A and B are shown apart, each in its own frame.
Chain A
Amino acid sequence: MVNILFFAKSRELSGVNSAQITVLSQCTFTNLLENILQQYPSLAVISENIILALNEDYLSKDSDVNLQEGDEIAVIPPISGG
């Protein structure tokens, strides 16, 4: 189980701030995103427009991901700070 956090538009679409989900411990960025989209199909409308963070660092879209129990994944829509 990992913790997943949703922000901004992704929070509104998923309807939750955070959740615990089960994902593969070893996968690619694309697999992980697909897995999240399966569990939160309402995110499909922004699927081309989000990046994921793992333990407070951005994952690159071509990376392999190793996940451990208790890791924190965040769904990050385009940012607009400043």
Chain B
Amino acid sequence: MENHVEVRENKLDLEKITSTVTSPSCGAVSVFIVYQRNNFDGKRVKTLEYEAYIPMAKKKMFEVCQQIRDKWEVEKIAMEHRIGLVPVTEASIIIAISSPHRKESLEAVQYAIDTVKAIVPVWKKEIYEDESSQWKENKECYWKSS
């Protein structure tokens, strides 16, 4: 059982993250990547700024790993979230999960991103080309009022 979680300020390394979950006993690695879009409501997004409550974010990411292991037989889980300035078209989170057969890791990776969006304390601010900005809110976040 190997869980790897990280919150980092530099660019995420897809190949490295994927290689941490490969295993001779696993025929499947499922990877999910969030990339940043360049528009919201017709406004051009210039850049994105992420911040995290890092120790709690890592704690909640480990909890997501445990929830996955309670539901599916997967081998290794890796998730890394980038914070700080994230340019449009670069990745903000990469999740990679290995399992002996594909069904488990495919389902687990979807559960992982949905649950990360609901419980991991990370915030994203979109900064638009007109210099306005907005803190975003995930629809999965249960305490948001609207």
Contacts and interface: CB of A to CB of B under 8 A. Distances in A.
Contact of B123 (A49, A61, A77): A77
A82 B143 contact: no
A80 B117 CA distance: 7
Contacts of A81: 50, 52, 57, 81, 92-93, 116-117, 120-124, 138
A7 B51 contact: yes
Size class of the A contact interface (CB-based, 8 Å)? 20 to 34
Given A8-B125, A81-B124, A82-B34, A76 B93 contact: no
B132 interface: no
B16 interface: no
A4 interface: no
Interface residues of B, number: 32
Interface string A44-82: 000011110100111001000000000000101111111
A78 B137 contact: yes
A80 B121 contact: no
B92 A78 contact: no
A80 B125 CA distance: 8
A33 B55 CA distance: 22
A48 B53 contact: no
Contacts of A53: 53, 56, 121
A5 interface: yes
B25 interface: no
Residue from the set A50, A56, A61 with the largest chain B CB neighbour count within 10 Å: A56
Contacts of A48: 145
In the A-B complex, list the 3 residue pairs whose CB atoms are closest, starting with the nearest.
A81-B122, A8-B123, A78-B144
Given A81-B92, A81-B122, A81-B123, 4 more contacts: A56-B59, A57-B59, A78-B137, A81-B138
Interface of A: 5, 7-9, 48-51, 53, 56-58, 61, 74, 76-82
